[in-house]
Amino acid sequence: MITFRTKGDLSKTQRWMIKARMALKYGNINALAQKGVNALSSATPVDTGKTAASWEYNVEINSGHMAIRFYNTNYSKWDTPIVIYLMYGHATRNGGWVPPNDFVTPVLRPLFEEIAKDMWEEVVSVR
């Protein structure tokens, strides 16, 4: 069992934690999310260009976490995002098969790494 004992108060630590939370909450997350939309748009396979132009994002900030949700608003007549067909492949009308093309993961991985780095720098710079 591990036991901790402290003397004094933790007011400086609490103040730092509040500032760190505010830095994370109001950091440059929207700029990074827009960068993700731009990267997804440029990596999306182009036929008409409608799917590439239909990327959007939403930033959700709740107590304890923050999330960026990327989504595409170009849907098929079956109410399925076209991106799903591109990423996972699909059958064609004449019985053929279009193979999957996961272009999203390679595009977003460096962005998520950049977000993690930027958020960490914001947290440690809070004094």
pLDDT averaged over consecutive 10-residue blocks of the chain (127 residues)? 66 71 65 92 92 93 77 93 93 93 92 82 70
The residue segments making up the domain with residue 104 are: 28-125
At residue 84, the 3 state secondary structure works out as helix
pLDDT of residue 127: 62
Residues 108 and 71: beta-carbon distance below 8 Å: no
Residue 86 in domain: yes
Residue 45 in domain: yes
Q: Could you tell me which residues come within 8 angstroms of residue 88 by beta carbon, excluding any fewer than 6 positions away?
A: 100
Residue 96 in domain: yes
H or E element that contains 90: strand 90-91
Residue 1 in domain: no
pLDDT of residue 81: 93
Burial category of 60 from C-beta neighbours within 10 Å (exposed 0-12, middle 13-18, buried 19 and up): exposed
pLDDT of residue 10: 74
At residue 92, the 3 state secondary structure works out as coil
- Of the candidates 22, 40, 36, the one whose C-alpha atom is nearest the C-alpha of residue 123 is 22
Residue 15 in domain: no
Residue 16 in domain: no
Q: Could you tell me which residues come within 8 angstroms of residue 15 by beta carbon, excluding any fewer than 6 positions away?
A: none
Residue 118 in domain: yes
pLDDT of residue 116: 82
Residue 117 in domain: yes
Task: Tell me how many domains the chain contains.
Answer: 1
Residues 44 and 103: beta-carbon distance below 8 Å: yes
